[in-house]
A and B are shown apart, each in its own frame.
Chain A
């Protein structure tokens, strides 16, 4: 605001200055009150000084004016112009110094006042323009207010009008609705009227027809006739027969019989068709089941055989199913009794197949994700073999070391005096020691690695245990359900049992996680039909899934090994750190050729199984 104050044109400023001079007394900011007071008192004074200077002091009235001035000045608080009178009656002398001081002070004061005045004036100007602006604003706002008020009134008016219209429309709508209702009523009444009329008309028409009929027929119209040269024989060669009153009933009965025969034939035909269709569908179903069994059996059958080969009495699941199938051929006789079983078994197998396919899908997707670097990862199976083998090696080494130590001690104890021989022996021993030390360090390192490995495996085992518990629960519930589902039919029961066993055999214990954790595991048929095996597996829990996986992968195809690896890796609590990967890789490479002896030498039976199986397969 200060800026546009300064730009005001001089005329206006001077004018406003004048105005200010006369109006400032009334309009003063309280802050500058003092200076203003000074100013307003000083301005007339200075004017007086200028205008009345000549008139104020003349030669004659110097004394008077001096005294006047003195008086004035003293009243304003200046020191007296006269010197301090020594005596009372002595004539006071004019003190020039004081006068000059006073003058100077007055001048200073004057200048100050002028300055103040200027300030005040500019401020005044500012305020004035402010004021103007505000007034303008005020005016504008007032105008706005006015217009908006007018607008509001207008809107209110419109609103009112609209409301009015709305009310009218509502009224109209109501009227229309009434109209519609009325019209509907009219239509309904018309419809009934029309129907009524129609009926009446039709009746009349019928009457007319009747009448016409009578008229036409009763006229004994000679015209209504048939001229035939001679009557022809019936198409079927029989003599034309026309019903007579006597035979009518029998005719009717014959006709009825015939009709029902036709209907029966039709129904029989349809039934036959449906039967055929059913048979076909059954065939398809059986085929499907067979195929499903054959598809699923290699996974569960083989381990089972391994487990049961000692007894050899227990049939494999596939064989059981095959037996079932042979019985299924009798289904054509009674579908209802077997239907449930069939659907159940199919459903089960289908579920297994589905989960299997899902897993395969997952694996495929994983392979796609991971590309080709999955070769670097080592399967759990390899790990286990490695650890086992290395442990064995360690044991052997330890034993060797022990024997060597014993030998050393013996030799030391029975030390020969032969220096040369001893020396020779010493140096030999040193060399040996060095070598042993090296070996020791290596073994230690390996041991450390094993410890790490073991820890990870125990973690996995704990997890597995938890999962198994969950599955056990699930299985219990399922079993319960199964028992509840069993019907009274013996045949069916046995069937159910078989089905159940087949199912349980396929995915018992560890591998029962098929349904609960379809992503983690496959429906690998780990051969745990026998409790011995199971316990073994539970003991070496971390080993079991991998062995089974191994079996499965071998059975599937060799290229699936990488997939299998992928499947396992998420199960490991901690994936191999990058640094260790290299060593792992080395192990696996080392173990593969030598795995057979390693396992034959001292592994559990499951291991042997897996290798035997591996031998079987291409």
Chain B
């Protein structure tokens, strides 16, 4: 495993281009485009203010930089460095900006969700979509980029509008049976739209592309409901993580629940492998002797190396007592992601912040639990193979694959606290982001990786 040198970064803005050739990163008001392989700076654009959001167009030809504070969006072209585009939302303000899938339109959400402005780069036209709903996930594009679903709020009722992206024509408009819609998400095949209600009510609705209600699912009532939703890449399963600490898997034929995965604080099944991250004492050269690392020293800032130990069956995980009288309590399954091959589902229960559960979807059972020394910040699957990268805000990055798992110290002087990470689409490298730096991590090819696993802290 190799690491690049460390580059400057601000606001965690670092993105690979969709074609995998370029890497965009922001330093204050500068946008830096690098070649992924050589890491040479290809272009350097200067924006009008500190950049708050960047996004590549789907064809990797353009990149937009949003400066919400000034209500400005600047678009740069990679092919023609002299080309530029500036969109000013003026007094309407700007809270969100995104590309349409064709890479020729920009959707800007104005302040107070007054409207969504669709700017075209091809023609001089502007169109407005009124009544967008201010919610967790209000815009969703199908994977093929043909349709856009938009959550709306009109007359105190939730609606969903489906637009054809090619000409922004309204295709379908229907009201949903939700109290307060919280999010929408297309199935990867683009034929089913999952709609879920606010956390006060457990409700998942499934709509067909033509606006028919296919099914409604409600696991329980009178308690906090859905927290996170994820489709499997095959569109076969819909995983619904909820505040009761369970993930429910719905199938795509009957839209009924197949199984539910609980996240108890103790793992009793001896078939489940529990990897516990343990501190490796640097003073002791006999690192292999599984010396029990003192828990107190497990601060995320510590630069000591760590490794995984396999804990034997009943394992109790560290839990967080949620504060009951506060809003947004730290309970329930807040993050879940399917592996690209559909075989695994990674989840994190917010009440057990240090652990990542990995479920075997073929056998519908718990496969592996990884317990880290500090709370898991984010995890992301390798886009090419079942390989999960985890970061905990420490100076290490963790990788899991069915073969095993390893913990890698990010080299470099000073602390490199990995707050976020993103994979290159080829799965050969990933970008590790800290507060004001980033670096690339290159993973070996398949056979080399096989030997690298099981040897924690193996880096050059």
A residues with a Cβ closer than 8 A to B are 198-199, 202-203, 209, 212-213, 216-217, 219, 221-236, 239-243, 248, 251-252, 255-256, 258-260, 262-263, 266
Contact = CB atoms under 8 A, between A and B. Distances in A.
Given A232-B104, A251-B167, A223 B121 contact: no
Given A232-B104, A234-B102, A234-B122, A223 B209 contact: no
B114 A216 contact: yes
30 contacts: A198-B156, A199-B156, A216-B110, A216-B114, A219-B91, A221-B92, A223-B90, A223-B91, A224-B90, A224-B92, A225-B88, A225-B90, A226-B119, A229-B82, A234-B104, A235-B59, A235-B102, A239-B122, A240-B104, A240-B123, A243-B167, A243-B169, A248-B169, A251-B169, A252-B169, A255-B167, A256-B171, A259-B209, A262-B146, A262-B209
Given A216-B110, A262-B209, 5 more contacts: A223-B89, A224-B89, A226-B86, A230-B83, A240-B104
Given A242-B123, A243-B169, A228 B85 contact: yes
B121 to A, nearest CB: 5
B411 interface: no
A266 B191 contact: yes
B167 A241 contact: yes
Contacts of A224: 88-92
A229 B85 CA distance: 6
Contact of B104 (A217, A235, A262): A235
A259 B190 CA distance: 10
A259 B59 CA distance: 24
Interface centre among A231, A252, A255, A256, by most chain B C-beta atoms within 10 angstroms, is A255
A221 to B, nearest CB: 4
Interface in B121-160: 121-126, 130, 146-147, 153, 156
A216 B91 contact: yes
Contacts of A258: 146, 164
B435 interface: no
Contacts of A216: 90-92, 110, 114
B257 to A, nearest CB: 20
Contacts of A234: 102, 104, 122
A384 to B, nearest CB: 56
B291 interface: no
A202 B167 CA distance: 31
A222 B92 CA distance: 12
B208 interface: yes
Nearest to A260: B210
Contacts of A222: 90
Most chain B CB within 10 A, of A230, A239, A259, is at: A259
Contacts of B114: 209, 212-213, 216
Given A223-B88, A263-B208, A202 B123 contact: no
B218 interface: no
Given A223-B90, A262-B146, A229 B83 contact: yes
Nearest to B82: A229
B122 A233 contact: yes
Contacts of A199: 156
Given A229-B83, A235-B104, A259-B209, A221 B90 contact: yes
B41 interface: no
The 10 closest A-B pairs by CB, nearest first: A223-B90, A240-B122, A224-B90, A266-B191, A240-B123, A221-B90, A227-B86, A228-B85, A226-B87, A255-B164
A209 B190 CA distance: 33
Contacts of A230: 83
B384 interface: no
A489 B195 CA distance: 48
A510 B347 CA distance: 62
B189 interface: yes
Contacts of A248: 169
B190 A235 contact: no
A230 B91 CA distance: 25
B90 A231 contact: no
Contacts of B208: 263
Nearest to A266: B191
Contacts of A256: 171
Nearest to B123: A240
A446 to B, nearest CB: 67
A255 B171 contact: yes
Interface in B151-193: 153, 156, 164, 167-169, 171, 189-191
B84 interface: yes
B17 to A, nearest CB: 15
Interface string B103-122: 11000001011110001111
B126 A226 contact: yes
A213 B115 contact: yes
Contacts of A260: 210
A242 B123 CA distance: 8
Contact of A262 (B77, B167, B190): B190
Contacts of A209: 112-114
A260 B89 CA distance: 36
Interface string B71-98: 0000001000011111111111000000
A227 B210 contact: no
B85 A203 contact: no
Contacts of B168: 243
